[in-house]
Amino acid sequence: MKLVGAISTAVLFLLLGTTAPAYAQHEEQAQEAKPAQHAQQKQEAQQAKPAQHAQQKQEAQQAKSSQHAQQKQEAQQAKSSQHAEQKQEAQQAKSPQHAEQKQEARQAKSSQHAEQKQEAQQAKSSQHAEQKQEARQAKSSQHAEQKQEAQQAKSAQHAQRQEHAEQAQGFTGNRGGRIPDDRFRAHFGREHRFRINRPTIVAGYPRFQYGGYWFGFIDPWPADWYYTDEVYVDYIDGGYYLYNPVHPGFRIAISVVIR
């Protein structure tokens, strides 16, 4: 038993003696390697620092951009919501006011239009009345002038006819004779038609005979009448006229020739 303890102690001292120099050598090597390791770690830290800084900067920028976008989106949403609310409030406030203003504008426009229309009608009526009066005056003046000219022409025509009748009768100053009523009713009028056929020329003037009387032409013989047409003599407006039923509404003046 003591032998075993002595052997154990010897082995222990042997191990300690062998381990001490090895530990001292290892400690020395660790001391020598420490500056190099520190330098390498420092270099690696320096090399990793820019990359880490860049990564942190990028992450910060991304976070900032995301935050800015989110804030911008929230601001736009808030602004859009506020704008919609303001627009809705403005429309609600504007609607009754706008309707009232629109109604007032319509009433004012309608009143103005009615007033302008009334003024235009009054002006038109006044102008029409003035033009009508001027037209009446001008027409009256023209009518009077035409009437005077017609009377003068009629008077001159009557004088010419009378002169022509006197020349046709061949008696100066003789204004022609008159057929008695009983003989006129018996031989003249619309119911007693005859044909002249061929007039007789006396002193350069044509005459024709019918019913026992000679008649001279005061008016010239119409170009579209024929001597073979049926005609009749009638007494109208104090004078004798020759009518052609083929040409109604037209007549020529004649006179009774007294020898």
Q: Is residue 244 part of a domain?
A: yes
Q: Is residue 25 part of a domain?
A: no
Residues in contact with 247: Cβ distance below 8 Å, sequence separation at least 6, in sequence order: 222, 224, 225
Where do we find the tokens 């006044």? 126
Phi and psi based region of residue 245 (left: phi greater than 0; alpha: psi -120 to 50; beta: remaining): alpha
Q: Which of 219, 253, 238 is nearest to 178 (CA)?
A: 238
Q: Is residue 46 part of a domain?
A: no
For position 107, what pLDDT does the model report? 83
Q: Is residue 31 part of a domain?
A: no
In this prediction the pTM is: 0.37
Find the length of the chain. Answer: 259
Where do we find the tokens 């008649």? 215
For position 80, what pLDDT does the model report? 75
Q: CA 113, 115, 120 angle in degrees (round to 5)?
A: 90
Q: Is residue 187 part of a domain?
A: yes
Q: Is residue 108 part of a domain?
A: no
Domain count, the chain: 1
* Tokens standing for residue 231: 């005609």
For position 15, what pLDDT does the model report? 44
Amino acid at 217: F
- List Cα–Cα distances, 195 to 185, 186, 199, 221, in angstroms: 18, 17, 10, 14
Other CB atoms within 10 A of residue 193 CB:
14
Domain that holds residue 226: 176-257
Q: Is residue 210 part of a domain?
A: yes
Where do we find the tokens 């602004």? 79
How high is the mean pLDDT in each 10-residue block of the chain (259 residues)?
A: 52 46 55 66 68 72 72 76 72 64 78 81 76 71 65 53 51 61 95 94 92 94 95 94 95 88
For position 243, what pLDDT does the model report? 97
For position 87, what pLDDT does the model report? 78
Q: Is residue 21 part of a domain?
A: no
